[in-house]
Copies of this chain bind each other. A is one copy, B any other.
Amino acid sequence: MDHPLLRKLRYFVDFEECEARALRSLPALEREIRFSPAQSLVTVDQDTRGGTMLLNRGWALRYRLLSDGRRQILNFVLPGDFLDPTGFVTHKADYSIVAITEVSVSAVHSDALFRLFDRSTRIAAALWWNSAHEAAMARAHLVAVGRQNAYERIAYLLWELWARLRVIEAADKHSFHFPGTQLMISDALGLSSVHTSRTLARLKAEGLISIQGQRIDIRDADGLKAIAEVSRSGLHLNGAPPGMRRILGIDIEPRAIP
């Protein structure tokens, strides 16, 4: 089974076998670090020099606290995501990350990454692309929290998670495993847990989803997508622009993220 980062980047670039191999050897997998649920992976102001961490397995949560305890979850960190995507250029994290499930993490050293950039501009492009994708998701998240109501927000989040999990092949055809709590959904979307509970109940009652235990079934994907107003472009990044194609020597068929 390929590393989820590789599975994700394949949505952007069709790698040669040698590039895939190089990517596989990027995280120091033999020296993985494990965390248990509720353990901190990153804390505010933590020093992040010299590289970053890559999530191999499990779910985590990137969040920030206000002085009185209010929590804003910035996003869910899924396998294949970097714990600190800007760790190469920043000193300190302005957020915390905590494990939701059992989690496996590997270090990615600046040195190894920069060497890889040199050897394959296609890999550099794919990673750049990945961060563009993260920025697009952050925008969609802001739109949801800023201008959509609870019903739409929750539809959006479920759709986003399902889409991201499909990319790394960690979702089923009509469902996915959600190890989080309603409180996490609330804190991600700027809602109270009570209202989240009621709104989830409404989504169930209206036949859009159903939940048993930690499994969320998407019963009406089109309906959910319509409510969330997922923008076509929001979660889509298609082939490289011609200019970059020429410069980076890549030749990619456009491929959509589902």
Contacts and interface: CB of A to CB of B under 8 A. Distances in A.
A171 to B, nearest CB: 22
Interface residues of A, number: 66
Work out how many copies of this chain go into the complex.
2
A190 B146 contact: yes
A175 interface: no
**5 residue pairs, one from A and one from B, having the closest CB atoms:** A146-B190, A86-B132, A49-B241, A94-B233, A110-B243
Given A67-B229, A71-B147, A94-B139, 14 more contacts: A50-B242, A51-B243, A64-B231, A74-B143, A85-B135, A88-B243, A88-B244, A89-B244, A90-B132, A90-B238, A90-B241, A94-B234, A142-B145, A145-B145
Interface of A: 44-45, 48-51, 64, 66-67, 70-72, 74, 85-95, 109-111, 114, 125, 128-129, 131-132, 134-136, 138-143, 145-148, 187-190, 229, 231-234, 236-244, 247, 254
